[in-house]
Chain A
């Protein structure tokens, strides 16, 4: 248990709107251990980004966060004040965002923005901080690091900027890194490099990594465990092998059919799609949220809220009242 980097229990996020209360995230449990990569997968709007912001306590002011437990490296940070949170942000846990083009301040040099992190959290003097920054840039594969430190963000390409972001997040050697779609805005060729880099760094620093993505290809490449989110809930979770080899929830299975999985999809085989749209989460919602789009839906699905269930002893769980094996037979 001392290996557990992050433990989140029963996270809910509500956002008050003009038309009512939006239940963006509903009762989520996630955990990450040292050296583990948890991928949170889901389509846009399913609440995965909000989840990561909630962990960092960076939600917009209007949002209401409710949690039963929020432990970082064994210590509860649930009731931390803003001052305390700002002390651990950037030092014990770090976050990498999706848009490298706009995530760095255009008015300051790379060096300035990296050094300030070290000055803030480690009280280093400028020379030592700059030196460490330089070494970190080299570690993420940036050549001519010394010159790069003097450059401004707009002078770097997207891929380079994302490397800088990664280096900046690693400066204080955090226990946990959350990466929110870190490769989505990058070229395909660069994507692979960045993912590889993240993997290497994770094992070197023995961190916990949460990677949020909508791209199953990324999941296949880098995940240890997977949590599939839909409409604010986790509908399935398990090891990457379990999810890919034996998806249980209809949504997960639908996702698997939508993309060509390397090694599984045969040439010429038609790709699937999931018709329908995500339901509105404003106000009270009872029953399965995937009901409208599910092939196996029954009346009972809409009656009451559905819990995650796992076969006894299994690490894989899914949120459906119909037994997975039954569904597998029909599909």
Chain B
């Protein structure tokens, strides 16, 4: 019985990380109609920056707070560039451009941090087992689940109750009309992009104690992020949440019972959704 609980909790913790990555990816698509293939790079960048900050400051929490800000600085530059390929009917150019950007980030990261596997220990307060009734489970993944929940709620509140959220939804729903009503869509897009980058980087730092920081992480995470947003529905934060939960749990279950085919099954799910319900299981925007 406790075995299944572990599988569940592992899946949820993974889902939290996936959500942080996918939420931004989904939002940027919703508002700018661009699939930001360099998003995995920001996740990885966040992780590496977190590593360096930790080495410098010796404090995990500081690294957690500062890494997303540093990533934001990079994001300010890349947003200017990605703006060139915003818009529908530009799949080819978007793939090329954001792919190219991903390669640039990938190599620069390798240049600065090298190719060996790096790691960050969880902060001492979380680096211990927790008692969950009769069962014992490490604290850190529970912390991840907590963070994921808080971020999900926060994003939901942001979208529902703030002016920014309203403008994001308007720009995603009907960009032309939104602009005719005074919504500065270019600015909205820029802020959405930066939000996405910050979330991805946050995910990267949080992931550092659990996953290995090594070249290739960016593309691995990107693929998973794509699966999540496709399944959940491009353009929707709730879609990213459900997609992340589904993929996280499927991955955890798969690893346990069908290790050789786990990932293949997830891809199959993605393919099926693309064929039969391209707007995602939740039916995202148009």
Partners in one complex: no
Residues of B within 8 A of A (CB): none
